Amino acid sequence: IEEERLDQERNAAAEQKRNEAMHAGMKERERERDPTYEYWHQAEFDIDNLVSIRRQWDAYLIAPGKPASSCIPPMFVTPSPPANYIWAS
């Protein structure tokens, strides 16, 4: 009887694990079909999208025609100090 109960518990645990894995897979597929998810994660899947997004950001960050407007700085850029003592902690 004890062995039977243990088998039932093992089967229930295995079924639970299968259901969780299946549910996680379904959620992943739902996210992939979601246009908002696709928009925000498009750079992770395609280098052309990454470059396009980078150029769009550059247009907002730096005026066009400035020298080195889309280059990575050649040296480390020192961040400004924290504006708030809480941020510094």
Looking at per-residue pLDDT, the higher value among 47 and 74 belongs to 47
pLDDT of residue 42: 84
- Average the pLDDT over each of 5-9, 10-14, 23-27, 32-36 and give the range with the smallest value: 23-27
Full residue range of the structural domain in which residue 82 is found: 2-88
CB count within 10 Å of CB 37 equals 13
Kindly report the pTM of this predicted structure. Answer: 0.35
Phi/psi region, residue 45 (left: phi>0; alpha: psi -120 to 50; beta: rest), is: alpha
Domain count, the chain: 1
How many whole angstroms separate alpha carbon 12 and alpha carbon 73? 57
- Is the predicted pLDDT of residue 5 greater than 80, yes or no? yes
How many whole angstroms separate alpha carbon 46 and alpha carbon 55? 15
Q: Across residues 5-28, what is the average pLDDT?
A: 80
